[in-house]
Copies of this chain bind each other. A is one copy, B any other.
Amino acid sequence: MLVGIDVGGTKAAGVLVDMISGTVIDSQRAASNGSGSDLVTTLVGIVDSFAERSDKPISAVGLAIAGLVERSGMVRWSPNLPSAVDYPVASEVSQALGLPVATVNDATAAALAESHLGAGRGCDDFALVTLGTGIGAGLVSGGRLLYGAHGFAGEPGHSVLVADGPTHMTGQNGPWEFFASGNALGRMGREAKLGTTGEDVVAALAAGNDLAAEVFDSWCLEVARGLVNLIVILDLERVILGGGLVSVGEPLRAGVESWLGQLLPGALARPPVGVFLAELGDEAGARGAALLAEEGQACAT
């Protein structure tokens, strides 16, 4: 059996996965707040209680973490989970359990899970782009996950779409995340007096509000703009949209696909790029971390 845990800013969500079938046998959540040492105790507790309830032994653990995760397993930057930054979470969990622990960026883990079990099946060149509070990505090229030199690959939210544009919370001017995250949709909704959050725009869209449809379409254009840059660099066959905004469903997929067709250069020479919705929901990160633990890849400690 394998354990994968998606370690977020407020909660750690674990799954117990059968190695043969890949199915999720058990799942569990716990608060992830407190110090680095508290976090280790929480994660060890999740694995221990899976072990108590399972009739087969656990052989490895994978941790999916939002932030810059080094291939060594160390988290170097994580605005949502400061307790894990520069703290030896993986090695302490490994020591406490006597098991190998792999650590990986959450979007990279989700891309692996979608590749094996979801919307990326049978596709060797795709990006999973998570549209939530921010923007994250996991990249598959030539059938392999891209980690980059330090494990930091797949941060297109920080790519700049408007040089000298508005200043984002990261200090950058005009990054994709400023224009196309869930937070950006909320800002566009406030400007149109549709509510205060991205969820308000989504609710008005679902209720058939015309102004909401217009705002949402403008936001889909911003999503497509960043995807164009990913596609011309990586020559993707598919784009898979994940994260909280996937709840919008087909209007999201169709809106982004339509703008992409209009913006992509060399469209006559290039086969169209398919836009898909992620299939694994909020378990993708944890399931991908379990897969990586099995493969012993990523940042095994």
Chain A contact residues, CB within 8 Å of chain B: 68, 76-77, 124-125, 137, 139, 141-142, 144, 146-156, 158-163, 170-172, 175, 225, 228-230, 232-237, 265-266, 268-271
Contacts and interface: CB of A to CB of B under 8 A. Distances in A.
Contacts of A155: 232-233, 235, 266
B233 A76 contact: no
- Identical subunits present: 2
Which 8 pairs show the lowest CB-CB distances between chains A and B? Answer: A148-B235, A149-B237, A77-B269, A125-B149, A159-B229, A152-B235, A153-B235, A76-B269
Contacts of A235: 147-155
Given A141-B153, A153-B235, A162-B162, 16 more contacts: A68-B269, A68-B270, A76-B270, A125-B149, A148-B234, A149-B271, A153-B234, A154-B235, A155-B233, A156-B229, A159-B232, A159-B233, A160-B161, A160-B228, A160-B229, A161-B163
Given A125-B148, A158-B265, A233 B139 contact: yes
A172 B232 CA distance: 12
Given A77-B266, A124-B149, A265-B158, A229 B232 contact: no
Contacts of A149: 124-125, 235-237, 271
A139 to B, nearest CB: 7
A159 B156 CA distance: 12
19 contacts: A68-B266, A77-B270, A139-B233, A141-B141, A141-B148, A142-B144, A149-B236, A151-B235, A152-B270, A156-B229, A156-B232, A159-B232, A160-B161, A162-B163, A170-B265, A170-B266, A171-B265, A172-B265, A229-B233
